[in-house]
Structure 1
Amino acid sequence: MKLTLFSAGLFACLFSMVSATALTYKIGANEKACFYALAEKKGSKIAFYFAVQSGGSFDINYAVTGPGEKVILDGEKERQGDFVFTANEVGEYKFCFDNEMSTYSEKFVDFEISVEDEVRAQLPSKQGSTPEQTTALEESIYKISGQLSTIARNQKYFRTRENRNFSTVRSTESRIVNFSLVQCLMVICMGALQVFVVQFFFKGARKGYV
């Protein structure tokens, strides 16, 4: 299976140009899905985040390849990952998830791909302001941006934990229900067997066996 995915949104800020895509995708058993991002400039920063939210043992195989099918990142049976690398070549970068190791479990994967250009826009200078004031404002903006990124990463982490805990609770509940049904069935079968044995021993034609 091959899916082509380019940037779904473009966010322009004072210090950089970023294109990013965040999706939740269901990967079926024995399925491989690939997504693509385009780096238009050499030296762009590409961020790649993923987390398995439910299914199986919450693990997935992944691989990131650049132009010319050069492998940049790969891993097997990983639950989540958060990477940033530099695009040394202009072109299309491929991000693949492989669930071929699973014979029956489908998995839900949250992932985000963002491409950020390093070119920074110049802040408009106010009449009468000094370069030191402009620099201080830029540093404040960069600091706020870093703190927002930290908050976003923490939110992703807690969301992943919440989804996995809910999946564990649902799995445990299903097992308890199934065990209770089996137990009830066994009690019914034992009761029927006891009735049959009692009838067998006290049946008129077999009184001699008592």
Structure 2
Amino acid sequence: MSHLLLWFSYIFLFRLASSHLVEVPASKKECFFEDLHVNDQMTVTYQVGGGGHLDIDFWISNPDGNAVKKNIRYSTGTASITAEKDGRYEFCFSNQMSSIADKIVSFNVHGVIYVGEGADEVVAPIEREIRALAHGLTSVKDEQEYIVVRERTHRNTAESTNSRVKWWSILQTVVLFSVVAWQVYYLKSFFEVKRVI
């Protein structure tokens, strides 16, 4: 019965990991928060999916407002913290270095998955396997979301390139017909008979 209860608690805690997509306007920042207790763990994984050079500033602040983790101009990253005291921990995505391009960021927040695991705790082999499976599932989910974001980025790049090629071809066609019309008109003027009366 305890293993069944443990399994359902893992499923419930695994569902606490959620994925979000946010657009960070140029010269702005977007912040989110989690209320944590002492020894709670929080992991944030993120990926910039569009805008500018695909980089963004990221940090996690403790309840005192001090940054405990900081990534400057990364396109993808992972930050994990263990709460040292109770309170509201804030994590922010900053696009203040860009004055033109908005950034699209996909991120996941993972809460505590393994509750009560101490150094001296004896873990049953099935429980260890369930924990390893939960960790593997989280990794696979993160990798799939990364692939989806990269596919979207590459598709947008391909569509943009296709649009540019189309408009460049139209411009070349217009220039070609203009040059042909001018040449016909210019050559026709050579063969005109000019009479002097």
Shorter-chain TM band = 0.7 to 0.9
Shift of 1:57: 2.4
Shift of 1:45: 0.7
Residue aligned with 2:112, SS: strand
Shift of 1:175: 1.9
**1:73 and 2:75 correspond:** no
The 3 A distance-change label for structure 1 pair 202 and 28 is: farther
Mapping of residues 1-210 of structure 1, within 5 Å: 13-14=9-10, 17=13, 19-39=16-36, 41-116=37-112, 119-120=115-116, 135-198=124-187, 201=190
Take 2:100 and 2:143, find their aligned partners in 1: how far apart are those partners?
A: 31
Q: Aligned AA for 2:178? A: C
Shift of 1:86: 1.1
Take 1:194 and 1:66, find their aligned partners in 2: how far apart are those partners?
A: 73
Take 2:177 and 2:52, find their aligned partners in 1: how far apart are those partners?
A: 33
> Is the contact made by 1:60 and 1:79 (CA closer than 8 Å) also made in structure 2?
yes
| TM-score normalised to structure 2 length | 0.77
Unaligned runs of 5+ in 1: 1-11, 122-131
Take 1:23 and 1:15, find their aligned partners in 2: how far apart are those partners?
A: 20
Shift of 1:167: 2.1
Aligned residues: 184
Take 2:132 and 2:166, find their aligned partners in 1: how far apart are those partners?
A: 51
> Is the contact made by 1:43 and 1:118 (CA closer than 8 Å) also made in structure 2?
no
Take 1:31 and 1:135, find their aligned partners in 2: how far apart are those partners?
A: 49
Give the structure with the larger strand fraction. Answer: 1
Residue aligned with 1:174, SS: helix
The 3 A distance-change label for structure 1 pair 115 and 143 is: closer
The 3 A distance-change label for structure 1 pair 43 and 21 is: same
Take 1:67 and 1:195, find their aligned partners in 2: how far apart are those partners?
A: 78
Shift of 1:200: 5.3
The 3 A distance-change label for structure 1 pair 117 and 189 is: same
Take 2:182 and 2:175, find their aligned partners in 1: how far apart are those partners?
A: 10
Unaligned runs of 5+ in 2: 1-7
Mean Cα displacement is larger for which, 134-143 or 77-86? Answer: 134-143
Take 1:165 and 1:36, find their aligned partners in 2: how far apart are those partners?
A: 31
Take 2:171 and 2:24, find their aligned partners in 1: how far apart are those partners?
A: 32
- Which residue of the partner structure matches residue 4 of structure 2? none
Take 1:60 and 1:196, find their aligned partners in 2: how far apart are those partners?
A: 57
Shift of 1:118: 5.5
Q: Aligned AA for 2:93? A: F
Shift of 1:23: 0.9
Aligned-residue Cα RMSD (Å) equals 3.0
> Is the contact made by 2:114 and 2:131 (CA closer than 8 Å) also made in structure 1?
no
